[in-house]
Amino acid sequence: MIINVLTLFPDCFSSFLSESIPKIAIEKEKLKVNFIDIRDFSGNKQRQVDDYPYGGGSGMVVKPEPLIDSIQFIQKGKKIPVIYFTPQGRLLNQQIVRQYLIEPEIILLCGHYKEIDQRVRDYFVTDELSIGDYVLSGGELPAMIMIDALARLQDGVLSDIDSALTDSHENGLLGHPHYTRPADLNGMQVPDVLLSGNHKKIDEWRQQKSLEITQQRRSDLLDK
């Protein structure tokens, strides 16, 4: 999969991509992440890409031309989805991640400052995603979240694909508790069933715990 990130701050991403699962996905050539610095399309010596909002008010707006030029530089006439990160977008979830997993190439557009020019959103952006009901300074952190969620699902990246399939949210529920050695930690015991070797019972226990935790913490998921 190719992920093109359009950003004013490409340097933000370097440590994130050089560790853990994103690093493995890139090394195994399952994922390629390209960075396009929106300022390279500013068209002026000062590399300025923002301007005052029409109608007045606080905050600056990212100008449309550098955004459109950088999108078209990537698309070159091809239909590549353009995802814009904004608190106004639909809330990102595992189903949406899987929707994009089947795309060979996507564009992640990171806004900054107050907003980007609405015409880019109306005519060039194909989807708007939010990572939660709070406001960040820009789309870089949401883009990293999307890259991470996609990287770990690429074929051959996780050593055990079952591990991804039993994650929270994969089946619409939160995950069950996990334990490792020692079985007795100063009197804090691992549940007997997990030591029993009876895989049918273990599966039932995990399913039951998954349901209980979802009921307690996110009953809205059960309604869905």
Contact residues toward ligand ADE (CB under 6 A) are 85-87, 130-132, 134-136, 139, 142
Q: At what angle do helices 94-101 and 140-151 cross, to 10 degrees?
A: 70
Per DSSP (E only), the strands in the chain are 2-7, 32-37, 50-51, 61-62, 82-91, 105-109, 115-116, 127-130, 184-185, 188-189
Q: Least distance from C-beta 128 to ligand ADE, angstroms? A: 9
C-beta closer to ligand ADE: residue 84 or 205: 84
C-beta closer to ligand ADE: residue 85 or 124: 85
Q: Which two tokens stand for residue 2?
A: 């190719």
Q: Which residue is nearest to ligand ADE (CB)?
A: 85
C-beta closer to ligand ADE: residue 64 or 87: 87
C-beta closer to ligand ADE: residue 106 or 158: 106
Q: Least distance from C-beta 41 to ligand ADE, angstroms? A: 21
Q: Least distance from C-beta 196 to ligand ADE, angstroms? A: 44
Q: Least distance from C-beta 139 to ligand ADE, angstroms? A: 5
In degrees, rounded to 5, the angle at the alpha carbon of residue 74 between the alpha carbons of residues 72 and 78 is: 80
6 within 8 A of 71, measured Cβ to Cβ: yes
